Amino acid sequence: QVRLVESGGGSVQSGGSLTLSCAVTGSTDRGYFMAWFRQRPGKEREGVAAVSGDGSKTYADSVKGRFTVSRDTVKNTLYLQMNSLKPEDTAVYYCAADSTLLSVVIGTVDPSIFEFWGQGTQVTVSS
């Protein structure tokens, strides 16, 4: 049973930084296509950043230059380094994984195509 376990959320002031982690358990497969999504209050879930099995990365326009996605294949863990945070980044952040995807347009991808999801972690940015 594949599980995604997120950690690292919290509250910061505008301009601050946070790093989210997503550990993949229950699987030895280290080639999943993985992504971070977020759901802001009153909004639909949206893609933020993704990394493919071969390491290719993609970002939503709203976070380019501020967020960095990375993965540690030894630890089977996905990360999201978030810098220069803004109040509009306040959301529940979710980790997602899929065993068949090769690439997506992360800014417009339908979240329902991902197989596995974490429980979400709250990020709150105050002005």
* Euclidean distance between CA atoms 113 and 106, whole angstroms: 12
Q: Report yes or no: 87 and 109 within 8 Å, Cβ to Cβ.
A: no
> What are the 10-residue block averages of pLDDT along the chain, 127 residues in total?
94 98 88 95 96 94 98 94 98 96 91 96 97
* Euclidean distance between CA atoms 54 and 31, whole angstroms: 8
Output DSSP code: residue 17: -
Q: Report yes or no: 99 and 115 within 8 Å, Cβ to Cβ.
A: yes
Q: Which amino acid is at 21?
A: S
* Euclidean distance between CA atoms 47 and 60, whole angstroms: 7
Q: Which residues of 101-114 are buried (b: 16+ CB within 10 A; e: fewer)?
A: beebebbebeeeeb
Q: What is the pLDDT of residue 28?
A: 77
Q: What is the pLDDT of residue 18?
A: 98
Q: What is the pLDDT of residue 24?
A: 94
